[in-house]
Chain A
Amino acid sequence: MIRRDALIIGGGIHGCATALNLRHAGASVTLFEKDYAGRHASGVNAGGVRMLSRHVAEIPLSLRSMEIWERIGDVVGDDCALDCHGQVLVAETDSDFEDCKARVAELNALGFTHEELLSAAEIRAILPAVAETCRGGIISRRDGAAQPARATTAFRRKAGELGADIREGVAAGMPRFERGLWHVEAGGEEFAAPNLVIAAGAWAGRIAAHLGDPIPMEPVAPMLMITSRVPHFIDPVVILRSRILSFKQFPNGTLLIGGGHLGKADLDTNGTVLDWNKLQTSARTVSELFPVMRNATIVRAWAGIEGKLSDDLPVVGPSPRHKGLFYQCGFSLHGFQLGPAAGAVMAELVTEGRTPTDISGLSMARFNAS
């Protein structure tokens, strides 16, 4: 039996960030990843590093994460191709714009200033190519995008360099609690630790249910498309207020089109199936908003498997039921940016039992109450 201070199931950006921070706190740790680090959501997502439009319950975690992203090279030894030109939410109608005003006012009242209202003129100054009809929007200036597979791999590599025992290609069996320790069988060996972190992405729902902590998680497969290179025409990442669309142009000219249309996911085979009718909707929206894009070609499309909770917020924190058990899952299509801070918070919870970051709105207890 291999004895550790903590075990982690899942090698996405969340599990790897937690492993890294546990090593900084001096804890011994083994991480299990059934495929390879970044094989799923963390390696294939849109790379959006965004504080913009977050639910209020997530904002403290998101702000802390942004501070870590801004010095990511020092943290993981790789700049992760992080490129920050802001993210912009576009209001296409008057009622969208009214919502934007209300949102910024609400955040300001809570003391958050990272989102700023943009008038129609201001938005056209920032996005000259955008359709004339846009009414305005919101900008979060420090936001940007990183290369997801590179970032996740960098967290894994750094955690390994600091002494974390990272086991890729090794699936963890269902954990059991015996005589004060969490036991996990993996790769023909037995591991035990007083602390166990479930960072198993879309697969976490099954583990939680097995442990008697049911959460309303659905495995989903958000889709993305990338186009051929087109002349540079846009700097910030753009999101629409009331249609499902986000996009970003890379320095090499290619354009990433996403936003959250879902294909089908299969947890048992790792398979995903694209839904071309929904990708078509994205293609239509882009051609309406940016007519210059009509002749670009789509060179690749893909989907990643992600765990979505019923209220679109993650669970970050201890199990309400079991000692030494922690959850870091259910990121519901927007957990990439949260990875660095969630890892720091988890390490604090495991080693000190508390964290300075307000995560009260992300506790698992919210599902038991209802």
Chain B
Amino acid sequence: MSVLRSDNYDLVVVGAGPAGIAAAAAAAKAGATTLLLDENAGPGGQVWRGLTSTPLTNRDMLGKDFWDGQLELEKLRSSGAEVLQRATVWSIDPSLQVGISHGGASRIVQARRIVIATGAMERPFPIPGWTLPGVMTAGAAQTMLKSSGLVPSEPTVIAGQGPLLWLLAGQILRMGGRIDVMLDTTPKGAFAAALPKAFGFLTTPYFRKGLKMLREVRSKVRIIKHVTRIEAQGDGQLERVVWETAGGKRGEMASRLLLLHQGVVPNVNLAMSTGAAHDWDGLQLCWRPRLDDDGQTTVPGIYVAGDGAGIGGVGVALARGRVAARAALTSLGKSGQDADLSAARAELAKANRGREFLDLLYKPAEQFRIPEGDTIVCRCEEVRASDIRSAVDIGASGPNQLKAYLRTGMGPCQGRLCGLTVTELMAKARGTTPEQIGYYRLRAPVKPLTLSELADLPMEPEAVKAVVR
């Protein structure tokens, strides 16, 4: 892989979403040698996916937020940061060596500081039948929409909760796509619980945008509220969706496509694999890295910014990226950044307003997080909820012990699709907390690596040896 200019950098940033773009731009502009690595074909991450390549040109279709990304990208371009797309980071170790795969070859680069900005992933939504063809996550549908302009044309049900669900529904409708029914799983009473935190939210731009989005979708789609049970049915392919509401009403619809989404959670695989400590977030119901005010993890020199640090959205991600980059530079003795650091911290505090309201409002209900009976939990190894309960009965005390019995988390997804479910399910079965149960112990390679790629890895680059930290 000769595409890189160097074997060592002041700052390596992983992930070119808003947080990574902001971090890399801020660091490079301040004179740090900076490398930004991203798996996708172009920068943007999930919110700004396809910003440089989308076939959609009508600005209204994707909303203003999407096009705001261009401004941040411009800053990145003029900053002098080196950007490598289609580059997968498969390892980061505590000595800050970064294993990178690109174009079928690998190499190891030495960083002096690292910002992990690998964003969020969708929370698993393990309902009966969720593994049938025809059931997909709303996020996957959004990726198709942004990169190739594909929208559903057959009878479609969208189900779940959270701002992104409404956003996607709005985007599909604006592009002439079809949605017949929306099953809203926001629990009854969630609004009342969230209300005391509403003041912070009312003062944010999200509030105005949120209302507009809700109105738009409501005018075109049949909305069923307080849904408490959903089942995808069909023989080898989705044929119908069946549901029940808190009021005991049952319903069903013949459909070929079911889009599921119940919020996003930090994508912690890479950060966890470095050995950084993570804690259970009882409000957002997910793991998040233990960070200091600068976003630094418990592994010195490794920072996390963006939704990977805890879900916060674009504004928070940008601010966290800038805080982490400036703090990293300050710690490297690239002085004169202190004023910048406090400005970035102020930006972060402002961006965080209103988040608690959304977290409380969109806390997903237990029955959609902790499945029962025959419902599949681990897709890779086809493990059912009841299998996990039986393993707990014979002594499996946490996700790592469970592997020995059921191989959960050992397939190609490395637990991304089942990890949270397994932790919460085992906590419930053992009558304890997710914190006590813990998570899979994750390790490099966090992304599969071919044997030949490893065999051909350039040995001990001179520059790596020469680096003194």
Taking a contact as CB atoms under 8 Å apart, the answer to whether B450 and A298 are in contact is: yes
B39 to chain A, nearest CB (A): 16
A284 close to chain B: CB less than 8 A? yes
Of residues 408 through 427 on chain B, the ones whose CB sits less than 8 Å from some CB of chain A are 410-412, 414
Of residues 249 through 278 on chain A, the ones whose CB sits less than 8 Å from some CB of chain B are 271, 273-274, 276-277
A351 close to chain B: CB less than 8 A? no
Taking a contact as CB atoms under 8 Å apart, the answer to whether A168 and B444 are in contact is: no
Kindly specify which of B42-50, B304-312, B325-333, B396-404 makes contact with the partner chain: B396-404
Of residues 183 through 204 on chain B, the ones whose CB sits less than 8 Å from some CB of chain A are none
A355 close to chain B: CB less than 8 A? no
Task: Given A38-B401, A153-B404, A293-B451, answer yes or no on A277-B395 (Cβ-Cβ < 8 Å).
Answer: no
A173 to chain B, nearest CB (A): 23
Taking a contact as CB atoms under 8 Å apart, the answer to whether A168 and B448 are in contact is: no
User: Bound complex: CA of A279 vs CA of B411, how far in Å?
Assistant: 21
Taking a contact as CB atoms under 8 Å apart, the answer to whether A273 and B404 are in contact is: no
From the candidates A228, A284, A302, name the one contacting B455 in the complex (CB within 8 A).
A284
Q: Mark B427-456, 1 if CB is under 8 A from A, else 0.
A: 000000000000001011100111110110
Task: Given A271-B275, A276-B108, A300-B414, answer yes or no on A294-B449 (Cβ-Cβ < 8 Å).
Answer: no
**In chain A, what residue has the closest Cβ to B91?**
A276
Residues of A within 8 Å of B444, CB to CB, are 274, 276, 301
Residues of B within 8 Å of A148, CB to CB, are 404
Of residues 20 through 48 on chain A, the ones whose CB sits less than 8 Å from some CB of chain B are 36, 38-39, 43
**In chain B, what residue has the closest Cβ to A156?**
B395
Number of A-B contacts (CB under 8 A): 93
B285 close to chain A: CB less than 8 A? no
Residues of B within 8 Å of A287, CB to CB, are 451-452, 455
**In chain A, what residue has the closest Cβ to B448?**
A297
Residues of B within 8 Å of A337, CB to CB, are none
Taking a contact as CB atoms under 8 Å apart, the answer to whether A277 and B448 are in contact is: no
User: Bound complex: CA of A278 vs CA of B131, how far in Å?
Assistant: 39
User: Bound complex: CA of A152 vs CA of B91, how far in Å?
Assistant: 30
Q: Which DSSP category, helix, strand, loop or mixed, fits chain A's interface?
A: mixed
User: Bound complex: CA of A300 vs CA of B457, how far in Å?
Assistant: 17
B468 close to chain A: CB less than 8 A? no
Residues of A within 8 Å of B405, CB to CB, are 150
Of residues 226 through 248 on chain A, the ones whose CB sits less than 8 Å from some CB of chain B are 227-228
Residues of B within 8 Å of A43, CB to CB, are 404
A204 close to chain B: CB less than 8 A? no
A45 to chain B, nearest CB (A): 12
Residues of B within 8 Å of A90, CB to CB, are none
Q: Can you list 24 A-B pairs, Cβ within 8 angstroms, ordered by A?
A: A38-B404, A147-B404, A149-B404, A153-B395, A274-B93, A276-B97, A277-B457, A277-B460, A279-B454, A283-B455, A284-B455, A287-B451, A294-B455, A295-B451, A296-B451, A297-B448, A297-B450, A297-B451, A298-B449, A299-B411, A299-B445, A299-B448, A301-B444, A302-B441
A-B complex: 10 closest residue pairs judged by Cβ atoms: A149-B404, A297-B448, A283-B454, A283-B455, A294-B452, A284-B455, A150-B404, A287-B455, A298-B449, A280-B457
